[in-house]
Structure 1
Amino acid sequence: MSDLGEAPHATMKRVLFVCVENSNRSQMAEAFAHIYGGNAVEAFSAGSRPSGVINPKAVRFMDELGYDLSRHASKSLDEVSGEFDAVITMGCGDQCPWVPTKRREDWGLPDPKHMDDEGYRQVRDDIAQRVRALLTSL
């Protein structure tokens, strides 16, 4: 029997999620892309002015879903390179510079860092739904 499957990188999609601090929304989006995309997606997140830390609330609320966000690092856009199949900004407007991509979307999500637990969960769950829809459409 021969293996007729494609090389793993032949159809792998590259997705970048961008927000200003890279500590909440874009980190959760990257996590959901890993969860839903598996080996078919190469997911990244970055910030235009990264805080250098992952918000403990983001870690806590992703842990509720069984994902360890504490393994992520807050990073700058300067640390990611190449062309992407999709670049998704999280409502950072002009503070998110241009990155080479085939598809660009701005989700205009509120920053949950000062929200109560219920508000934070709502933003997290909205991100989950949007990431799932994005990956289906790529």
Structure 2
Amino acid sequence: MPDLSIPSALKRPPQSILFVCSENSVRSPMAEALTRKIIGNTVYVASVGLRRGKIDSFAAEVLREIGIEGGLRAPRAFEDFEDEAFDLVVSLTPEARDRIAELARGVPTELAYWPTPDPTQVEGTRETVLNAYRAARDGLARRIRELFMTSGAP
């Protein structure tokens, strides 16, 4: 199976990115907020879930730790963006990857799959749970930086 972590066909930085996960409450909104922090407003970035979830307070907290205040907005569902085109669609869960691959057949959009563990599944102390959220945040930030270094962005 090909490596879908960094799209190989990107010759230039994408001008629009859509991050997709299952509920748009943790991983995809964190990826959206992180992209804005890392590259600014030079790229149109959005996030959706296959289903509409609820804002997650732990996700908001770990974003605040790195200076992203108010980085999470109300969760959106895929149908909110189904009429829009994106240069790159990044799936963060297996469910999102499968659904996006099905929907993108014949559409000239780059697809990437960045498997990101679900921190909501971690149990334990508050610090243990926060560490799982931090790991998801930091892993997404690393991939975003790699994407823009690989595609020729400054």
TM class, shorter-length: 0.7 to 0.9
Q: Which residue of 1 aligns with 2:65?
A: 64
The verdict on how the C-alpha distance between 1:102 and 1:12 changes in structure 2, with shifts beyond 3 A counting, is closer
Structure 1's unaligned 5+ residue stretches are 1-10
1:89, distance to aligned residue in structure 2 (A):
0.4
Task: Measure, in 1, the Cα distance between the counterparts of 2:22 and 2:109.
Answer: 21
8 Å CA contact 2:33–2:72 kept in 1: the answer is no
Letter in 2 for 1:123: A
Q: Which residue of 2 aligns with 1:91?
A: 93
Q: Which residue of 1 aligns with 2:6?
A: none
Letter in 2 for 1:19: C
Task: Measure, in 1, the Cα distance between the counterparts of 2:137 and 2:89.
Answer: 18
Q: TM-score, normalised by structure 1?
A: 0.81
Q: Percent identity?
A: 31
Q: TM-score, normalised by structure 2?
A: 0.73
Q: Which has the higher mean CA deviation after the structures are superposed, 66-75 or 91-100? A: 91-100
8 Å CA contact 2:14–2:87 kept in 1: the answer is no
Task: Measure, in 2, the Cα distance between the counterparts of 1:71 and 1:119.
Answer: 18
Among residues 25, 28, 32, which one is paired with 1:26 in the alignment? 28
Structure 2's unaligned 5+ residue stretches are 1-12, 123-128
The verdict on how the C-alpha distance between 1:105 and 1:74 changes in structure 2, with shifts beyond 3 A counting, is same
| Residue 34 of structure 2 corresponds to residue 38 of structure 1 | no
Letter in 1 for 2:33: A
> What's the C-alpha RMSD, in Å, of the aligned pairs?
2.0
Task: Measure, in 1, the Cα distance between the counterparts of 2:63 and 2:46.
Answer: 17
Task: Measure, in 1, the Cα distance between the counterparts of 2:72 and 2:133.
Answer: 20
More relative contact order, 1 or 2 (CA 8 Å, 6+ apart): 2
8 Å CA contact 1:45–1:75 kept in 2: the answer is yes
The verdict on how the C-alpha distance between 1:18 and 1:69 changes in structure 2, with shifts beyond 3 A counting, is farther
Q: Which residue of 2 aligns with 1:15?
A: 17
SS of match in other structure, 1:119: helix
Q: Which residue of 2 aligns with 1:107?
A: 114
The verdict on how the C-alpha distance between 1:70 and 1:40 changes in structure 2, with shifts beyond 3 A counting, is closer
8 Å CA contact 2:29–2:72 kept in 1: the answer is no
Q: Which residue of 2 aligns with 1:128?
A: 141
The verdict on how the C-alpha distance between 1:92 and 1:68 changes in structure 2, with shifts beyond 3 A counting, is farther
